[in-house]
Structure 1
Amino acid sequence: MDWLNGEAFTAFGQHIKWSDMIGNTIGLIALALGWRRSIWTWPAQFLSGVILFAAFATSHLTGSAGKQIVVMAVAAWGYWQWTRGRQQAQDGSIAVRFATWRERAYLFGGAVLGTAAVGGLFTLYPSLSWDPWPDAYIFVGTLVAMIAQARGMVEFWFAWLLVDLVGVPLNFANGFAFSGFVYVLYGALVLWGLRDWWLRSRTSGRPALEGAAA
């Protein structure tokens, strides 16, 4: 695995690592497969998570590494859900909606409390993370976004945008320039996805996850 954390090339004064480049390239492919509603989006996301976990873990970015564990877990769950859902919907689609105010309060409260708990843990044990609070924010923010996505909530896209606002500078600061560039692309794609889910939420009268959970 040592070669994965070796330098692939230098661009604009930034050293690009193999793990950073390969993991995020596979992540972009997974995103494209997701737009096509291909079930292969989930194995691609899982593989991307494995590679990026190895990269972040060796750089003591515990929150970013933990984020990849969440991605891998959700990818495995998503593959299972879409496999079952194909019996009801060939494209594996789900109904999307805006969260209720109570659900938003739970998500926001969980994000605040979770970030405080994880950030406090990273602060007590500096060996876990070089950037404890941004790292904790990314880890908890990703978890909140995944929960909202699993529930079919449009707010999941807003959560991802907030994660990107911290993820971009953190990755550049810690030598993961390719991740930083990809996060910028993700930000643009999230805006597009937000628009799509927003429009779908106005036309869908079904409960969230009706097709996937059946």
Structure 2
Amino acid sequence: MNALDWLNGPAFEAFGQRVIWSDMIGNTIGLAALALGWRRSIWTWPAQFLAGVILVGAYASAQLSGGVGKQLLVIGLAVWGWSQWRRGHRDEGGEIAVRFATWRERLTLAAATVAGTLAVGGLFTLVPELSWNPWPDAYIFVGTLAAMVAQARGLVEFWLAWILVDLVGVPLAFSSGLAFSGLVYVVYFGLVLWGLRDWWLRTRPSATALEGALL
């Protein structure tokens, strides 16, 4: 048995569904990547890169070509995000500075997300073998990329984008037979709420001073 066969082999069953190793390992690393993003650690990007590489196998085994394509783009964006954070603005503590997007940035990101979802959803509809559930898959596909772009730019809206992705991602993962992905999305949701609160508070002028006083 080669490594790919092992990764796509069964690990255990959850809720009557088989969980494969690639699904479990990839999403566990993805969960760690989100936690690292919450802590504004640059290691969030290598973790997202590794999770994307492993999840390619998981989505391929589930015959979700759209998911495979998404993970390939996630890999590319992880490299870009790493470069952005390496030369990004820092706060007084030397960590990545975060901020709310301007209205122009919000409108641009929202318009690009809508246009991208329509384009990808249309492609999935025209080529059924790419996805058995075109529009939810396209929504998650583009929403994930939008969230990563916002994260790379240090925007608080990154967390809001993840909330919108989770609302569709949980039921789609379970219905696709990727039970562990569904469970991880539920945990993602909790981390996203905490991350949103943390980044939101750090946009306040007194946040850095308060943090220093507590130390």
RMSD: 2.4
Number of the residue aligned with 2:116:
114
- Cα distance in structure 2, aligned partners of 1:52 and 1:4: 10
Q: Count matched residues.
A: 204
Number of the residue aligned with 1:174:
176
Q: 1:73 aligns with which of 72, 76, 86?
A: 76
Deviates more, 1:172-181 or 1:42-51: 42-51
Deviates more, 1:98-107 or 1:172-181: 98-107
What TM-score do the two structures reach when normalised by structure 1? 0.84
Deviation readout 1:30-66 (Å, 9 max, x if unpaired) = 3344455544433222111101012113323233223
Question: Measured at CA, do residues 148 and 141 of structure 1 come closer, stay the same or move farther in structure 2, by a change above 3 Å?
Answer: same
In the alignment, structure 1 residue 2 sits paired with structure 2 residue 9:
no
**Where do 5+ consecutive residues of structure 1 fail to align?**
206-214
Question: Measured at CA, do residues 204 and 69 of structure 1 come closer, stay the same or move farther in structure 2, by a change above 3 Å?
Answer: farther
Number of the residue aligned with 2:191:
189
- Cα distance in structure 2, aligned partners of 1:74 and 1:157: 17
Number of the residue aligned with 2:59:
56
The DSSP-based 3-state class of the residue aligned with 1:202 is coil
In the alignment, structure 1 residue 15 sits paired with structure 2 residue 18:
yes
- Cα distance in structure 2, aligned partners of 1:128 and 1:142: 17
The DSSP-based 3-state class of the residue aligned with 1:203 is coil
Question: Measured at CA, do residues 90 and 84 of structure 1 come closer, stay the same or move farther in structure 2, by a change above 3 Å?
Answer: farther
- Cα distance in structure 2, aligned partners of 1:156 and 1:162: 10
- Cα distance in structure 2, aligned partners of 1:189 and 1:62: 28
